[in-house]
Structure 1
Amino acid sequence: MPTNPPGSIPEQAQIYPVAPLIRLTLLGLYLALVLPLPLLAPPALRPWLTAALPAGFVLVGALLSERVSLDRQGIAVGHPLWCAWLLRRGWQLPWDQVQGLASLGTSQGGRVFYLKAQDGRRLLLPQRVARFPAFLLQIQRTSGLDLSGVGRISPPWTYWALAGLSLVLLLAEVVVFAALPMGSLSNLN
């Protein structure tokens, strides 16, 4: 991605997707939680759950495809065209409408930040994007806001721990189901 000198407006749109660690961890957690369900379900429900599993994976993938775009006009948060028709959420804020920054503590001890617009809206500043320091720096350069106190909503180690636990769960499921004799899945019900 091209870098811009301090105070400059991005010449080309800069896209910041959800950080890969977060996206892959949450997709892995989805698989770890729902992959065994069709095997454990009563026989009448197995076809439905088997069909729902990939549909749910695509839906979770769509939710995690949110991205932030910074360009000459402002900041925009949304989803790519392949899923925007379904999710239809997001927002845009021109640079000249950015009035300030507000923060709010979360129940888990973190902080979320909102961009304050001149029309009174408070728009949630994405804190789970890839290249987060560069993202903050570009917003600070373009808007003039002091973002030195803004950090990620949760530290990366939490996602590494969740990724590790999801992997252990997936491996345990594979071992357990591989160790079962053929035909014993129908006896689980």
Structure 2
Amino acid sequence: MQSDDFSKSFDRFRISPLIKVTLLSFYVALLLPLPFLAQVTTAPVSPGLLVALALLGALFLGAGLSERVETSDQGIAMVSPLPWRGWSLTWSEITALKPRSTGQNGTVYYLMTAAADRAYLLPMRVVGFARLVRTVEAKTGLDTQDVTPLAQPWMYLFLLIMTVFLLLMDAWTVWTATHGGIA
């Protein structure tokens, strides 16, 4: 399917801002104290290298969180700034919607095609997920009655609150490390 097919009439579903803010904040909270601690403890890894690698990781995380799903009369596409991640399917290529259990006891869904070796993960962390599922059902005729989001918004809100506490602990750790409190 050509990307031009989506220029006619399409709907765009972006990753939820709550999820973006939560995951980026959590990433910062996990890595923020490392360069300071590396400097104070004279670790074999330089603080500059840690900062450079953290920034590189942030670029990849930001790119992953910039993905979006686009639907049109012709099909569905997952558009990503990472060239190896995107995909597109015409509605007629989709033959089934298969649930798969996750390691955390959740369920994800794959769009199946006639080619048995190809399955495409239905993005579940987008704003308007219910509308996306209704579109898939309307365009493919597949039953989506049991399709539900993997995580509820309250889960990400809880993680965001815990991340704020972690950032406060990071601030204390950095302050202690840079003011002679860690030997």
Indicate the TM-score class for this superposition, using the shorter chain for normalisation: 0.7 to 0.9
Mapping of 1:25-104 within 5 angstroms?
25-42=22-39, 43=42, 45-80=46-81, 84-85=82-83, 88-104=84-100
TM-score of the superposed pair, with normalisation by structure 2 = 0.83
Residue 37 of structure 1, CA deviation: 0.6
Whole-angstrom distance in 1 between the partners of 2:163 and 2:179: 27
Equivalent residue in structure 1 for 2:105, among 90, 102, 109:
109
Residue 134 of structure 1, CA deviation: 1.2
Specify the code of the residue in structure 2 equivalent to 1:64: L
Identity %: 35
Q: 1:53 to 1:119 in 2, by over 3 A?
A: closer
Q: Gaps (5+ residues) in structure 1? A: 1-9
Specify the code of the residue in structure 2 equivalent to 1:48: L
Q: Is the CA contact (8 Å cut-off) linking 2:124 and 2:149 kept in structure 1?
A: yes
Specify the code of the residue in structure 2 equivalent to 1:144: G
Residue 78 of structure 1, CA deviation: 2.6
Q: Gaps (5+ residues) in structure 2? A: 1-6
How many residue pairs match? The answer is 173
Whole-angstrom distance in 1 between the partners of 2:103 and 2:48: 40
Q: 1:108 to 1:50 in 2, by over 3 A?
A: closer
Residue 182 of structure 1, CA deviation: 5.4
Whole-angstrom distance in 1 between the partners of 2:111 and 2:49: 43
Match of 1:4 in 2: none
Match of 1:160 in 2: 157
Specify the code of the residue in structure 2 equivalent to 1:90: G
Specify the code of the residue in structure 2 equivalent to 1:40: L
Whole-angstrom distance in 2 between the partners of 1:181 and 1:36: 9
Whole-angstrom distance in 1 between the partners of 2:121 and 2:35: 37
Specify the code of the residue in structure 2 equivalent to 1:77: M
Specify the code of the residue in structure 2 equivalent to 1:103: P
Whole-angstrom distance in 1 between the partners of 2:98 and 2:178: 58
Residue 106 of structure 1, CA deviation: 2.0
Q: 1:76 to 1:181 in 2, by over 3 A?
A: closer
Residue 161 of structure 1, CA deviation: 1.4
Residue 128 of structure 1, CA deviation: 1.2
Q: Is the CA contact (8 Å cut-off) linking 2:37 and 2:177 kept in structure 1?
A: no
Q: 1:31 to 1:181 in 2, by over 3 A?
A: closer
- 2:9 paired with 1:12: yes
Q: 1:113 to 1:182 in 2, by over 3 A?
A: closer
Match of 2:4 in 1: none
Deviations 1:104-140 (A, max 9, x none): 2223221111112122222211111111111111111
